[in-house]
Amino acid sequence: MAGVAPARRGYAGRTAEQRRSDRRERLLAAGLELFGTEGYQPTTIERLCAAANVSTRNFYEEFGSREQLLLTLHDQVTVRAAQALLESLAGAENAGLEVRIGRAIRAYLAVTSTDPRWARICYVEVIGAGESVQRQRTEWRERIGAFLIAEAERAVARGEGRPRDFRLSAMALIGAINELVHYWSTAGQPVPLEDICAELTRLGVAILSD
């Protein structure tokens, strides 16, 4: 009948869109598990599909490549971490640099590092994973760097430091965070995550308050 859209077929009471969404979530879960435990390089598309119980055709419909799946996972967790960072500073507008940097680092690492699979993906497997992954890492580095520069300038306005160009300092702190968490992840997490957060807070204050 003209003007009436055809009904979408369902399977076991679920629409095609729902089934596709479920396949996508299973592939993301498989990527988290395999990339986060065995590594990105040795994990094939066939293994991802077997773990997610989907066909290779379904995989390519959702991600197009193994690199795209890694990009999606990395962006997914980094978005959540950035949001947690911002939320951690609510109500601390007038707090000093140590408090604000400490809250930000703890919130960010709680998302990216509490689960060792996410820590491995964020700080180990994305390194050398391809040009697209590196571009995404660079984009996030610039955003986080801008946040750190703003925090340093806020500290200057409160009299906690001297005005200067904080860009290199921000990049140095990001490098320290990445390298320390990389070490912590690959060494089997020899100390509690809180110790890592405390050390990075001390370092952040030293770098950004001079």
Segment 74-118, tens digit of pLDDT: 999 999 999 999 999 998 888 899 999 999 999 999 999 999 999
Do 52 and 140 lie in a common domain?
no
Do 85 and 47 lie in a common domain?
no
Would residue 172 count as lying in a domain? Answer: yes
Tens of pLDDT along the chain (210 residues) come to: 444 444 445 455 678 788 888 999 999 999 999 999 999 999 999 999 999 999 999 999 999 899 999 999 999 999 999 999 999 999 888 889 999 999 999 999 999 999 999 999 999 999 888 899 999 999 999 999 999 999 999 999 988 888 999 999 999 999 999 999 999 988 888 899 999 999 999 999 999 886
Do 35 and 96 lie in a common domain?
no
Would residue 115 count as lying in a domain? Answer: yes
Q: What is the CATH number of the domain that holds 154?
A: 1.10.357.10
**Domain containing residue 56:** 18-64
Do 114 and 47 lie in a common domain?
no
Who contacts 205 (Cβ-Cβ below 8 Å, separation ≥6)? Answer: 97, 98, 101
- CB 32, CB 121: distance < 8 Å: yes
Do 147 and 59 lie in a common domain?
no
Do 108 and 47 lie in a common domain?
no
Do 28 and 123 lie in a common domain?
no
Do 113 and 151 lie in a common domain?
yes
Would residue 5 count as lying in a domain? Answer: no
pTM for this model (two decimals): 0.86
Do 58 and 114 lie in a common domain?
no
pLDDT at 4: 44
Q: How many CB atoms lie within 10 A of CB 88?
A: 18
Q: How many domains does the chain have?
A: 2
pLDDT at 11: 55
Q: Of the residues 6, 39, 64, which one is the last residue of a structural domain?
A: 64
Do 92 and 149 lie in a common domain?
yes
Do 146 and 193 lie in a common domain?
yes
